[in-house]
Amino acid sequence: MSKFIVPIIISKLKILKSFFRKIYLKSSGMVLPNNTIIGRIVCDWPSKIKIGQYCEIQDETYFKFKNPFDMENYVSIGDRTFIGRNCEFNCNLQIIIGSDVLIGSNSVFVDNNHQIDKNICINLQPIKTALITLKNDIWIGSNCTILMGVTINDGAVVAAGSVVTKNIPSNEIWGGIPAKKIKDRV
């Protein structure tokens, strides 16, 4: 009986910490329901994030907004979505995540990129941006990178460690660097 007490206490403390964290984030403008669990996230602009019902975002997830005063610059997360530890959302335009999505730890989403004109210094290059969209019922494995302009359609799976540079059709499993189709989901 006593071996169950410690895990129960830890679980209750996690929920209590999330409650106080949510009070702060809501007062800073983040849209999130009471039934969502938020870990220790890093975000200077909570008002740029909308989170759906019954989600869990684990510790050290980082939300970076390049243009926080642009109304079109935001991250939207659907219902019942799980985001693992140490994920990064580098948002210069929009990152839209649907419902029932699982994102493994250490995954990175970048909706922008520098241009590479050889006549201009790299740090002075203009930035290109393109929306990232993850539809519904998707699994992104750990340590994946999803780059600008990518749409991952319903039911897709991305293998751990992949770099996604192209759109992924529904119900396909992709993996590799760059990610390519491995097989259909059965």
Where do the domains of the chain lie, and which CATH numbers do they carry? Answer: 2-184 (2.160.10.10)
Catalytic one of 12, 14, 40, 114: 114
Q: Is 140 noted as a catalytic residue in this protein? A: no
DSSP notation for 117-179: -TTS-GGGPPEEE--EEE-SS-EE-TT-EEETT-EE-TT-EE-TT-EE-S-B-TTEEEETTTT
Percentage of the chain modeled with pLDDT above 90: 73
Given pLDDT bands bounded at 50, 70 and 90, which one contains residue 86? very high
pTM for the model stands at 0.88
**Of residues 27, 28, 54, 55, the one with CA closest to residue 43:** 28
Asked if the model's pLDDT at residue 6 lies above 90, the reply is no
**pLDDT higher at 67 or 29:** 29
pLDDT-derived band of residue 1, with 50, 70 and 90 as boundaries? Answer: low
8-59 tens-digit pLDDT: 888 888 778 878 888 999 999 999 998 998 999 999 999 999 999 999 999 9
